[in-house]
Amino acid sequence: MHQVVLPVIGTVAAWRAEARRLAAGGVPPEAVSWRVGQAEADLFATQPPATGTPRQINLSRVAIKGLESALCHRDPERFARAYALVLRLSQGSLRWGDRADPAMRKVMLQAKAVHRDIHKMHAFVRFREVESTDPRRAFAAWFEPEHPIVEAATPFFANRFGDMDWVIATPAVTARFIAGQLSFSETESTQRPPADDTEDLWRTYYASIFNPARLMVKAMQSEMPKKYWHNLPEADLIPNLIRTAEARAAKMEAARPTDPPARRAAVARAMAMPEKTEAAPGTMEDLRRQAQGCTRCPLHGSATQIVFGEGPHDADLMIVGEQPGDREDLTGRPFVGPAGEVFDTEARAAGLEREQIYITNAVKHFKFSVRGKRRIHQRPNADEVQSCRWWLTRERALVRPKLIIAMGATACQTLTGSGAGLLRRRGTVEAAEDGMPVFITVHPSYILRLPDPAQQTAERVAFRDDLETAGHILQTLCQSAAQTNA
């Protein structure tokens, strides 16, 4: 039988080269035996029997990664198993990841065990500072992995501790990172580095972060098995923490509540100081402040915040939309989402300046339903519109605009009492209950919902025309108001 001896350092790379060579020579798996160690003098240096078909090995990247991990397992059979598997994979008689195949399943389980061991090494290596003559600080650690994983696991430390020199010694292999160079050698000394002062701080932290009222020893041990404990500086605290936990928890529960310290009263006095900026009653600021705590309908429950109107408090033109959307809810400002963008663009084109308009909504909280991680807009119902009218009425009374543009059915409903037949009514002026002229048009989000781009363009033009018409009406209203005053 042909024997392959792989080196202790660089085992996986050596296996890879050897496996390729043997496969290309058509050597069947049963004709090779593998081991790790020192190559002995050419005792078995027989030429391997080429009884199989020569093969070029081509594997997927996932397969290579999985195999290389499995080759870091301590199982001595791993090399032979992997070689046989590689041949079957390149023959096409086996699919990578087919767990129904016993050999494949074994390789995958071993790869998983190796990943776990590497992960635990990343977690449980504990460095201790050692003396250094260099400006770079130097650290050392002793660790006992379950599998020969040092070469696979230590590049992580090089990436993490790039600005210090370190040594991680394990029973078989030692990794050194000196002046930015990572190297491996066989371990000569099994001496542990001496403890350093910071370890006591760490032990203090470990003992304090533990909550004795929720003792769950099994959960701890499944993630931090005892086999790692003897190299962890915090582990010798564990038995005592467990022993005293129940008594500590019972003591907390039994303790009577105490009276608050004197500081409590002082802080309470300081915090009870009246707020400096109290808005005068009857102003827009006061109304806005009141609205922040609005619970008139259930919509405040899931929305972020109330989205109040915005704009000059003596504007001639007021715009009323339906309700805030996702963006508006997050930012607290009306018409800043996609529909707001449509409005801004078309209003500007129609000669209306947003800075001179008071913009608000018929309903001031966002109504939505949750679909996974998304919020789907829902139309407010009559009750919600009715409850929120309270705010709109007060906004109207304070701003006293000459013209209101109602955008969409909800705004129409709250202002004129009916939201029906919107498309028939658009472009016309109706009177609100108190006689204020209300110009009716569609909501810009209606345009965004149209599936056909050509139709969208047409509707945008119609919307702009509406706004232009409203602009003219407003001008006429302003002029006649000026004449009346004069």
Residues 237-276 that bind another protein (CB under 8 A): 238, 241-242, 245, 249, 252-253, 255, 257-258, 260-261, 263-264, 267-268, 270-271
Binders of another protein among residues 56 to 115 (CB under 8 A) are 95, 97-100, 105
CB-nearer residue toward another protein: 20 or 115: 115
* Sole binder of another protein in the list 47, 61, 191, 216 (CB under 8 A): 216
Binders of another protein among residues 392 to 411 (CB under 8 A) are none
CB-nearer residue toward another protein: 84 or 164: 164
Q: Which stretch binds another protein (CB under 8 A): 40-48, 152-160, 314-322, 383-391?
A: 152-160
Enter the tokens of residue 289: 């402040």
Enter the tokens of residue 155: 């590049």
Binders of another protein among residues 333 to 392 (CB under 8 A) are 368, 370-375
Binders of another protein among residues 322 to 341 (CB under 8 A) are 329-332
CB-nearer residue toward another protein: 33 or 204: 204
* Sole binder of another protein in the list 180, 298, 338, 417 (CB under 8 A): 180
Residue 15, Cβ density class (10 Å: 0-12 exposed, 13-18 middle, ≥19 buried)? buried
* Sole binder of another protein in the list 232, 448, 473, 477 (CB under 8 A): 232
CB-nearer residue toward another protein: 329 or 466: 329
* Sole binder of another protein in the list 146, 176, 210, 286 (CB under 8 A): 210
CB of 270: closest distance to another protein in angstroms?
8
CB of 289: closest distance to another protein in angstroms?
12
Q: Is 218 in the site for another protein (CB under 8 A)?
A: yes
* Sole binder of another protein in the list 64, 206, 377, 386 (CB under 8 A): 206
Binders of another protein among residues 125 to 144 (CB under 8 A) are 125-129, 137, 139, 141
Residue 55, Cβ density class (10 Å: 0-12 exposed, 13-18 middle, ≥19 buried)? middle
Task: Give which of 33, 31, 113 is closest to 72, Cα–Cα.
Answer: 113
CB of 442: closest distance to another protein in angstroms?
28
Cβ-Cβ contacts under 8 Å for 344 (sequence gap 6 or more): 335, 354
Q: Is 420 in the site for another protein (CB under 8 A)?
A: no
CB-nearer residue toward another protein: 307 or 474: 307
CA pair distance 367, 381, nearest whole angstrom: 10
Binders of another protein among residues 284 to 323 (CB under 8 A) are 292-293, 301-302, 304-305
Determine the size of the site formed for another protein (CB under 8 A). Answer: 90
